[in-house]
Homo-oligomer: A and B are copies of this chain.
Amino acid sequence: MDSSLTAVQFGVGPIGARIAQSALNRGVEFVGAVDVDPEKVGEDLGEVAGLGEETGVIVTDDADAALSADPDVVFHATVSSAEAARGQLETILEAGANVVSTCEELVYPWRDHAETAAALDEVAREHGVTCLGTGINPGFAMDAMPVVLSTPMESVESVRVERVQDAGTRREPLQRKVGAGTAVDRFEDEVAAEAGHVGSPESTAMLAAGLGWECDEITETIEPVVADETIETEFLTVEEGEVAGVHQVARGYVDGEEKLTLDLRMAVGLTSRDSVDFEGSPDVSITVEGGYHGDVATSAVVANCAPRVVEAEAGLLTMLDLPLPSVVRE
């Protein structure tokens, strides 16, 4: 990454903190940080984000003030909903800054959030800057990566993408969030509504677009992963028959036929991996042994895409529009 990039961290929660670290590792210079949490406002970004060093940048709840430092790029990590993020993103774009956001629905908002997408695209173009939503999932493992892996194929009939994440290696709030240790009959009320991964329809729509398809329907289901033995993690115990986590499947239909299946399991006691299976000419099967780790990978994808976003044409882009991404490239 070009070490001369300046940035504002917009949202200094757990993911925002990791992004800040990832960006600092690449020589990015922070010139501002925004968060609404009164406990963070007035503190040094380095302290709030647990960076182990002072940055000299004080967290403020005044976005305009932070943006007045005229950063090359803003790392935006606040909410999952495109509509909820819209106001913040417009503020950033109107200040003339490029933005890379972890907002899940922004990764491919053109299908289900078309009005918001069009509005952001217009503001970005007006101000000559670029807006991108990305992350490991949505943004890479279940959408951009399978798109690229189709390049050597003569044709694709259907694609099945699986992502299995062992929640047992993740932080406690995530283990609680996926319902680990909940009774199965309470899954629907207590877990399903809250724990669901946001972004699967967006991944499905992006993957379809990348393969030259348009989905006439995208469906999504969420069910519990049920423990078939006792599972102990650092933080909790799941008894046999209790919920170990969530299993979400998004299906994309093209001309009435299921062409895309995105199968995501996040539970304690699983063996993490990512895989992509194409039926087509020829069939192709790819496995990422151990999978891309959720937390590390999201901040890495965001930080690694920043230089490309700064150089890209103006507008609301998706990962399909950027030059070949990579770990770092000047």
Contact = CB atoms under 8 A, between A and B. Distances in A.
A88 B305 CA distance: 37
Interface string A278-305: 0011111111111011001111110011
Interface in A135-183: 136, 140-141, 144-145, 147-156
Contacts of A288: 149, 284-286
Interface in A192-218: 209-212
B323 A151 contact: no
Contacts of A4: none
Interface residues of A, number: 54
Contacts of A280: 327
Task: Tell me which of A22, A154, A328 has the highest count of chain B C-beta atoms within 10 A of its own C-beta.
Answer: A154
Given A152-B140, A322-B324, A293 B282 contact: yes
Contacts of A87: none
A190 to B, nearest CB: 31
B148 A212 contact: no
Contacts of A221: none
B211 A329 contact: yes
A281 to B, nearest CB: 7
